[in-house]
């Protein structure tokens, strides 16, 4: 079992005042408006938290993000040393955030939603790097490192390289699929699936592709439910499985999450025939990804 050490002291004190000038996600970064994803149900409370080159749409009731949005400028990325200095966001009560105790003495990792490398560009690259280490940008993921997780973590690089042929900018939306049935653990419900939508410009128009990471236990539905219940009674982390990464229709992300994805479903470049014949394609390598051709 992995043991995560106590978080190091903050390199800088983060206060409401120090975060006040964060501009957050730029919805016109690609040249056309791509709004932040928000719940389609107006009764679901969210808080918009702007950071440097990205924003988090936070669900206080779940202590996790509903969605994140980051702008990636491939021409101006900067190599910044990793700091691993996780901290609470002072703009929210700590009790509303899934902090270090969720991840302590168990095999759960603080999974970045906005990947650390993605917003680290431009004159505020170092600040962007530090901003990604807020607990509001994390969600519990198993620490198993396998091909499925490698694919998930490398999608932005793959997509940026592809989109670079048409435009050197990329916008990526990521979040957990927040289900009422997610297994409880240490005061939160642990998401079993995560989603990602990448948007870029192609041939003068908006293009989008979508993906799902599934860490559900590799069991039948009934056996999984029983294993989850037994773990909850014992106070153990849920018995999550190996990572499986799928390419899916963008509209499926909206249906799964209940989020309003604005123009993204209509911009889906997954061919209609593929959506019908095999809407969820298991990815075993980047060669399995269906991408639009110019």
Q: Which domains does the chain have, with CATH numbers?
A: 16-288 (3.40.570.10)
Encode pLDDT of 221-248 as tens digits. 788 889 889 988 999 988 888 888 999 9
Measured between alpha carbons, how far is 67 from 35 in angstroms, rounded to an integer? Answer: 12
> What six digits make up the tokens of 229?
């219940």
First to last CA, the chain: 47
Sequence-ordered list of residues with C-beta below 8 angstroms from that of 8, at least 6 positions apart, any chain: 84, 85
Q: What is the CA angle 172-173-179, rounded to 5? A: 155
The answer to whether residue 9 scores a pLDDT higher than 80 is no
**Burial class of residue 43, CB neighbours in 10 A (0-12, 13-18, 19+):** exposed
Q: What is the mean pLDDT of residues 254-276?
A: 90
Kindly indicate the confidence band of residue 146, based on its pLDDT and cuts at 50, 70 and 90.
low
Higher pLDDT, 68 or 279: 68
Measured between alpha carbons, how far is 212 from 208 in angstroms, rounded to an integer? Answer: 14
- This prediction's pTM: 0.91
Look at residue 292 in the predicted model and tell me its pLDDT: 66
Q: What is the mean pLDDT of residues 273-282?
A: 80
Encode pLDDT of 62-89 as tens digits. 999 999 999 999 888 898 888 788 999 9
H/E stretch holding 205 reads strand 205-214
Q: Residue with structure tokens 């670079």?
A: 164
Kindly indicate the confidence band of residue 17, based on its pLDDT and cuts at 50, 70 and 90.
confident
């Amino acid at each position: 079992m992995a043991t995560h050490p106590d978080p190091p002291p903050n390199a800088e004190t983060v206060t409401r005042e120090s975060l006040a000038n964060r501009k957050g996600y730029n919805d016109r970064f690609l040249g056309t408006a791509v709004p932040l994803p928000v719940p389609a149900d107006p009764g679901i409370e969210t808080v918009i938290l702007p950071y440097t080159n990205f924003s988090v749409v936070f669900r206080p009731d779940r202590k996790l993000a509903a969605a994140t949005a980051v702008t990636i400028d491939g021409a101006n990325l900067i190599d910044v040393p990793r700091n691993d200095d996780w901290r609470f966001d002072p703009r929210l009560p700590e009790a509303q955030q899934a902090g270090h105790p969720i991840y302590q003495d168990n095999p759960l990792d603080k999974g970045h939603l906005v990947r650390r490398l993605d917003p680290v560009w431009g004159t505020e690259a170092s600040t962007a790097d530090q901003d990604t280490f807020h607990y509001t940008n994390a969600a519990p993921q198993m620490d198993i490192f396998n091909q499925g997780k490698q694919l998930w973590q490398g999608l932005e690089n793959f997509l940026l390289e592809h989109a670079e042929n048409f435009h050197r900018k990329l916008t990526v939306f990521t979040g957990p699929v927040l289900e009422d049935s997610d297994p409880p653990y240490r005061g939160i419900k642990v998401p079993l699936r995560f989603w990602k939508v990448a948007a870029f410009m192609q041939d003068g128009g908006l293009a989008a592709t979508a993906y799902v990471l599934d860490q559900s236990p590799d069991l039948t539905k009934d056996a999984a439910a029983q294993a989850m219940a037994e773990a909850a009674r014992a106070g153990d982390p849920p018995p999550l499985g190996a990572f499986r990464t799928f390419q899916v229709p963008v509209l499926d992300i909206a249906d799964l999450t209940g989020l309003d994805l604005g123009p993204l479903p209509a911009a889906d470049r997954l061919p209609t025939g593929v959506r019908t014949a095999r809407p969820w394609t298991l990815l075993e390598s980047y060669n399995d990804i269906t991408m639009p051709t110019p």
